[in-house]
Amino acid sequence: MKKLIKFHLMQDFPEQIVLPPIPTKRTVPDWFKKTPAYNEGDQTVKKCVPFLDAMTAGYMLLNHVDILLEQRKDGSLKLNFLDDKHKALITKWPPIETHPMRQIPGSPMQSFTVLKWMNPWRIETPKDYSLLFLPPLNRLDNPIIPLTGLVDTDTFDNIVNIPFIHTMLEPGGSKIIIHAGTPMCQIIPVRRDTWESKTTWLDKQELRKTKKKREEMQKDREDWYKNYAHVKKNYD
């Protein structure tokens, strides 16, 4: 049975600039589309089903308004405006805040300016489902790196804002533009279950099973996972 995820717009933006979250499969980057399936006789990531499954899992939160940002030499941030209409919109609903550095003492993030994208959407998941908020997977071309979090969005009926690092932001550096439509954060529904773990050491039965499976894979090495192990995922 299909599960329903709901996105509730919580800010009264003009209709023409509202960019709702979309299935992540619709944001596959051009570089991946252009990647050949084979290179110098070897398969590339284009043929790696787990790689593509991760890249297309869940939904993508998109930036909803152009953000023109610069960091002064003293570390403070400045938002710039395209015109008076843009200024009025940004002033009413600031899309960016700074994340207090006092909250991350001694962490690797301390050497960066941690920003916070003010997400205009409240997200609701079915009972027993949380949302994993994480950087767009396998998208190292994206300078926006959200900090990962797991939120129980079936019980937390509030907006989840997104702390993130922009790798090109630096004091006294160039102005940065985050265009409307830019992928900001990938979200993947996760069912909450109670787990326990078990470890086996050189278990003969497991070794035999693994050896047999590897022998089977040799018959269709190139597409065995795709044809016999892969389970299709659907996010619409």
pLDDT tens readout for residues 65-88? 999 999 999 888 899 999 999 999
Q: Is 97's pLDDT higher than 90?
A: no
Residue 148: per-residue pLDDT: 96
Residue 149: per-residue pLDDT: 97
How far apart CA 65 and CA 179 sit, in angstroms, is 7
Which of 59-68, 165-174, 217-226 is most confident?
59-68
Helix (H) / strand (E) element for 227: namely none
In 219-229, which positions are buried (b, 16+ CB within 10 angstroms) versus exposed (e)? Answer: eeeeebeeeee
Q: Is 102's pLDDT higher than 90?
A: no
Residue 213: per-residue pLDDT: 87
Residue 53: per-residue pLDDT: 97
Q: Is 108's pLDDT higher than 80?
A: no
Percent of the chain with pLDDT over 90: 69
181: left (phi over 0), alpha (psi -120 to 50) or beta: left
How far apart CA 45 and CA 53 sit, in angstroms, is 11
Average pLDDT over residues 22-42: 94
CA dihedral defined by 150, 156, 157, 159, rounded to 10 degrees?
A: -40
Tell me the β-bridge partners of 176. Answer: 69
pLDDT band at 230 (very low <50, low <70, confident <90, very high): very high
* DSSP assignments along 62-115, one per residue: E--S-EEEEE-TTS-EEEE-SSHHHHHHHHHS--EEEPPGGGSTTSGGGGS-EE
The hierarchical CATH code for the domain 6-195 is 2.70.40.10
Strands (E), 162-208: 162-166, 176-178, 183-191
